[in-house]
Amino acid sequence: MKALVLEGIQQLAVRDVPEPQPAALGAFIRVQANGVCRSDWHGWIGDSKRDFPTVMGHEMSGIIEDVMPGVTRFKKGDRVVVPFSGSEGTCEYCQSGQSHLCDSGIIPGRTYSGGYAEYVSVPFADRNLMALPEEISFTDGAALGCRFMTSFHGLVDRAELRAGEWVVVYGCGGVGLSAINIAASLGATVIGVDINTANLDLAKEIGAHFTINSRESKAAEAVMQITKGGAHVSVDALGISQTCVDSIMSLRKGGRHLQIGLTTKKEAGYINVPIDAVVLRELKIIGSLGMAPHRFASMIPMVASGRLTPGKMVTKEISLSDVSGVFDSMTRSAITGTYVVTRFE
């Protein structure tokens, strides 16, 4: 099969590789769409440790070709999404309904060969697949496996966003645009912040009521003016020091900062936080990772009905060989919207 192989830092090549081996209680899936996610960029640029060679890709949808004995919820021909925060089912977090925090997390592109390939073999299929309704395209479905599920869990379950609140989202890439779309659909008034004018225009198309170009304005000050006192919820969807600090400083008293973006090699996991502001304004800092599969029951109907619109933020469907160019654009903050691999060549 064809796959995009990461052979070293910033070294990608389309290769002919063997099909993946069957996984325990797993399903063999023909990939139809795989989103190009910033998390993969982190692996390509060298921010996160990877073993070489490897096949990345964790934002995918496809069709089941075969299932292993013991799989009961899925069969050949089913349309599915592969949530990236997979699990094995036995740890205390899996047992308490928080399988996205599994002690032995099963992540495509990390713990098994990922979606930049024609086929994947997903372990523990009954736990780690979600049915994709016919009303949702494979391209839209790919978004549900990472950026949409991450933003949905973060805003709905972790930050407990309420209608009528102000939300500011720092970083209008894939996960940030998803957060804007979700927040607006839930009745919030949304501000998008980015340095890319095209992404700010796209943010308005999918629900942002206001946008701020942080190259032209001091973002936190602008948010304070627009909201007349600060946002109720702020989201750092990028993970660099400036966006994290600006996000916190954009909050009104009692506000909630939601951290979704992971840091780059420059921050190496640590950011200086304005802790006095956290104390004096009684702010909350909330982390969020992925989403437990059972929560898809609340999100998927919103996509199927058109209330959430992941397709509106897809800039282009591309081939495996185009991914390197997309990563280069991410490095230069020149990427607009999201790109999805639908051609495996």
Task: pLDDT band for 97, please (50, 70, 90 cuts).
Answer: very high
Task: pLDDT band for 164, please (50, 70, 90 cuts).
Answer: very high
Task: Name the percent of the chain lying above pLDDT 90.
Answer: 94
Residues 127, 95 contacting (CB under 8 angstroms): no
Average pLDDT across the chain, whole number: 96
Alpha helices in 62-124 (DSSP H): 92-95
Alpha helices in 62-130 (DSSP H): 92-95, 125-128
pLDDT at 273 over 90: yes
Sheet hosting strand 210-213, strand order edge to edge: 210-213, 189-194, 166-170, 231-236, 251-259, 284-287
pLDDT value at residue 142: 95
Count other C-beta atoms under 10 Å from residue 238's C-beta.
26
**CATH label, 2-146+291-343, candidates 3.40.1280.10, 3.30.70.141, 3.90.180.10, 3.30.450.40:** 3.90.180.10
Residues 206, 185 contacting (CB under 8 angstroms): no
Task: pLDDT band for 108, please (50, 70, 90 cuts).
Answer: very high
Domain ranges across the chain: 2-146+291-343, 148-287
Alpha helices in 136-218 (DSSP H): 138-144, 147-152, 174-185, 197-205
pLDDT at 222 over 90: yes
Residues 4, 14 contacting (CB under 8 angstroms): yes
Give tens-digit pLDDT for 166-183. Answer: 999 999 999 999 999 999
Q: How far apart are CA 217 and CA 194, in angstroms?
A: 11
Residue 312, SS3?
Answer: helix
Across the range 109-115, mean pLDDT stands at: 95
Across the range 120-132, mean pLDDT stands at: 97
Across the range 313-327, mean pLDDT stands at: 96
Could you tell me how far CA 60 lies from the centroid of its own chain? Answer: 11
Give tens-digit pLDDT for 289-315. Answer: 999 999 999 999 999 999 999 999 999
Q: Who's near 196: CB < 8 A, 6+ residues apart? A: 172, 333, 334, 335, 336
pLDDT value at residue 24: 85
Q: Under CATH, which number does the domain 148-287 receive?
A: 3.40.50.720
Q: How far apart are CA 5 and CA 57, in angstroms?
A: 10
pLDDT value at residue 22: 87
pLDDT value at residue 50: 87
> Do the domains at 2-146+291-343 and 148-287 have one common CATH topology?
no
Among positive and negative, which fits the CA dihedral 30, 36, 39, 44?
Answer: positive
pLDDT value at residue 334: 86
pLDDT at 335 over 90: no
Across the range 216-238, mean pLDDT stands at: 97
pTM score = 0.94
Across the range 205-211, mean pLDDT stands at: 97
pLDDT value at residue 319: 98
